[in-house]
Amino acid sequence: MARAPSGAGFFAVLPYLGLWLVDTRGLSGGGAGLVVGSSILANRAGAVLLIPLIHRLGLKASVVTGYVGAVAVFALLGTGPGLAVTGWLVLAALVGLFLAMATTAMKASVAALPADQQLRGFSYLNMAVNAGSAVGPVIGGQLLHWHASWLPLSAAVLHLVALAAAPALPGTWRRSERPRPAAGGSGRRPLVQRRFVVFSLLACGAWVAYAQAFDVLPAYLGDTVDARDLGLVFTLNAVMVVALQVPATWLSRRVLDAPRGGFGVLWAAAGSVLAASVLLFALGRSAGLSVVLVAMVLFTLSELVWGPLYDTQVSERRGTLSLPAAYALAGVASGAAESAGAWLGTLLVVGRSGTGPLSPAAAPYWGAAALALLTALAMAWDGRSPSADPLDTRKGEGNDHDVDVSARA
């Protein structure tokens, strides 16, 4: 599946990008944090600029176009040793933008499945990402020791493999249908509805915590845990997702359908475990690799639940938005949260001394844990509150182009 080699390429670079820029390109901690943050923001939120293009090209062609652009920009990243910070910012943002295009189109394809197949579809997509990312961090960690300048080039090669697999994706190459007004409406109903906005903003706490675990951790533990060992920590995450995603999805479905279960209860449980894992990551500088491994196990158990749940909720709460528009707009919130978390976390941990859990360098992890816990409580409350907005009854009809947002969005 195309998403597996793409995930390998992405995770071969992103967890080490800040450390790579500091150690091999001479950037400051603040400059490296800005570059990492720009890539994450473009990757999560950039697709909102590409909604009209995705609709025009169609979902399958958009995936191919995104991978072609990613190959080109990763190759430039690997051959740009003399760039200033602004140059690195532009290239990092471009690669994030191209990958956002491919990812949004692929998620929209899964969300077009019948409603009872969406959670399973997103679970399989999560497995594909993690199957690739099982080898990605290992590749990145080894290249930092063998030949650090090859790090972005490895991502270019892996996305070439993804590009070769993309034509086999389901769907057609035809252009998308033109948008049409919401059924039964006067055209005055807002496209972006309250329940969609509330959920997207509440989920930001989880994405800030995610940034500390995946984007900041190598810089935080750079003087304590060897890069190759840290690569194995990320591989543990990926292997657990591949091995446990199916039973975790089955259990999630049971909780969602239980009389006293539901979305709020499920997210609250996953968010609480996420907060605990981030606190344990903060102990990594003083306690070493063993605690980091325990933290990653807990982090993965939470991710198995809230990752696919997040994607299905975006589809469920989209209202009259088209599927590409819904995932692109949700990406604005999640991208801004992860980007800000990665930038601030990298800025605070690079060059900071102290190994104790109360040292200044551990501050991003304490803050992220608090946000994850607050998010869990807020989602539990949101899950109990009845919404005035009806669920989208058109889910599962495969109509992912019914209503568009403005081309200026």
179, part of any domain: no
CA distance 327 to 64: 18
Signed CA dihedral, 253, 259, 263, 267: sign only: negative
Q: Quick one: angle between helices 136-146 and 115-133, nearest 10?
A: 20
The pLDDT value given to residue 10: 82
| Cα dist from 172 to 1, 62, 111, whole Å | 17, 11, 16
Closest of 237, 309, 242 to residue 269, by C-alpha: 309
The pLDDT value given to residue 161: 87
307, part of any domain: yes
Residues of the chain with pLDDT under 50: 176-188, 386-409
**Centroid of chain to Cα 325:** 17
For residue 135, give the amino acid letter: V
Number of residues in the chain: 409
Contact 323, 112 (CB under 8 A): yes
392, part of any domain: no
CA distance 213 to 1: 26
Q: Which two tokens stand for residue 56?
A: 């025009």
Contact 16, 141 (CB under 8 A): yes
The pLDDT value given to residue 302: 95
Contact 211, 267 (CB under 8 A): no
144, part of any domain: yes
CATH of the domain at 66: 1.20.1250.20
Per the structure, how many domains does the chain have? 1
The pLDDT value given to residue 297: 96
Contact 6, 158 (CB under 8 A): yes
CA distance 40 to 38: 5
Domain that holds residue 112: 3-173+191-384
Residues in contact with 140: Cβ distance below 8 Å, sequence separation at least 6, in sequence order? 11, 12, 13, 15, 16, 151, 154, 231
Contact 383, 279 (CB under 8 A): no
Q: Is 262 helix (H, G, I), strand (E, B) or coil?
A: coil
394, part of any domain: no
403, part of any domain: no
